[in-house]
């Protein structure tokens, strides 16, 4: 019998908020997971992740502190591999069958189709097919994610997207996407 529930990577952004809403509305158990990797936007992201959990009436995100990643404010090579690996370990520990990410196909190497295929395969192989990694919005562009968020009733003021600072910089790719989407 397949294990129910998921560990969900929750950053407080729109993409992970959509994944959270999809899981909660499907009635599945969700263990939200937030990573502290000394990102410049840490305090705001954590506050938004906590607000989303409260909004959806689920437990607060479990926080995992990591050493600082990357070498500037938005380049974090292999970040998603680290996150998926730790989330899979938590899924195994809490006997849930899935890891859910808000990864979408983008300019970063660890968001490519090749990456998610390999990361998902590694996770399945080394958990004896016990943990499945899912990326429910991978093929959606930001406009489609925004439409899905609106359809799911996600309050955009509970989300945060800047990857450079604790208040929107207006210049990073995430701020530009959000501005283009008018949210």
Q: Is residue 64 part of a domain?
A: yes
Provide the residue-wise pLDDT of the chain in tens; the chain has 183 residues: 457 899 999 999 999 999 999 999 999 999 999 999 988 899 999 999 999 999 999 999 999 999 988 766 567 778 999 999 999 999 999 999 999 999 999 877 889 999 999 999 999 999 988 899 999 999 999 999 999 999 999 999 999 998 888 889 998 888 888 888 888
pLDDT for the residue numbered 92? 93
Task: Report if residue 1 sits inside a domain.
Answer: no
Q: What's the DSSP call for residue 105? A: S
Nearest C-alpha neighbor of 99 from the set 76, 127, 71: 127
Q: Which residues contact 182 (CB under 8 A, 6 or more apart)?
A: none
What does the alpha-carbon distance between residue 126 and residue 143 come to, in Å, rounded to a whole number? Answer: 35
In a domain, 125, yes or no: yes
In a domain, 42, yes or no: yes
Which pLDDT value is given to residue 24? 97
**CATH code (residue 169):** 3.40.50.620
Give the count of domains, the chain: 1
Task: Output the pLDDT for position 163.
Answer: 83
DSSP per position, 123-175 = HHHHTTT--EEE-TTTT--HHHHHHHHHHHT--GGG----SS-SS--S-SHHH
Question: Does 113 map to a domain?
Answer: yes
What pLDDT sits at residue 73?
58
Residue 85: domain span = 6-180
């Amino acid at each position: 019998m397949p294990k129910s529930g998921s560990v969900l990577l929750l950053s407080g952004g729109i993409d992970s908020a959509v994944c959270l809403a999809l899981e909660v509305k499907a009635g599945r158990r969700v263990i939200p997971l937030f990573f502290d990797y000394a990102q410049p936007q840490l305090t705001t992201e954590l506050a938004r992740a906590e607000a989303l959990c409260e909004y959806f009436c689920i437990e607060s995100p479990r926080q995992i502190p990591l050493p600082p990643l990357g070498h500037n404010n938005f380049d974090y090579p292999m970040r998603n591999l680290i996150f998926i690996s730790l989330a899979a370990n938590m899924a195994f520990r809490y006997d849930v069958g899935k890891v859910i990410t808000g990864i979408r196909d983008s300019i970063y190497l660890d968001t490519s189709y090749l990456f998610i295929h390999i990361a998902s395969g590694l996770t399945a192989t080394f958990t004896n097919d016990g943990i499945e990694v899912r990326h429910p919005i991978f093929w959606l562009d930001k406009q489609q994610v925004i439409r899905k968020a609106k359809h799911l009733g996600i309050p955009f003021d509970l989300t945060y997207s800047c990857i450079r600072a604790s208040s929107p910089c207006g210049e990073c790719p995430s701020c530009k996407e959000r501005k283009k989407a008018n949210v």
